Amino acid sequence: MPNYQGGYSQIVTTKGNETFNLPENFTHEEGAVSYYPFVVAHKALIHRAQISRGKSIFIIGGNRDVGAAAIQIAKAYGMYPIVASAGTEAGMKFMKDRGADHVLDHR
């Protein structure tokens, strides 16, 4: 993850592999606050777990920031089924809205 002086700048230069396109339905504000959860989830899924299309995945705490990002990344990579857990009804709905195929109540 890059670390820049002048983080409030409107323009910075960086390496291409340190950037990503925002989904079309994201505002710039949503993109700004989504950076770290998506980077952490991406590193965990792609570099550590080495996920691949058609494989299953279980995400504990999928209703939190990194977990929600992991659900969306897994969906984008074609993983199936994506199973995620949360401890509330609202959390389970949130995970379904993010793309989880199955949700579990871990209470």
CATH number, domain containing residue 62 = 3.40.50.720
Domain interval for residue 67:
53-106
**89 lies in some domain:** yes
Give me the mean pLDDT over the 71-87 stretch: 96
- pLDDT, position 21: 77
Q: What is the DSSP string of 16-62?
A: GGG--PPPTT--HHHHHHHHHHHHHHHIIIIIIS---TT--EEEETT
> Is a pLDDT exceeding 60 seen at residue 4?
no
pLDDT in tens, 12-66: 777 877 777 777 888 888 887 888 898 899 999 999 999 999 999 999 999 999 9
**93 lies in some domain:** yes
pTM of the model: 0.77
**62 lies in some domain:** yes
- Tally of structural domains, the chain: 1
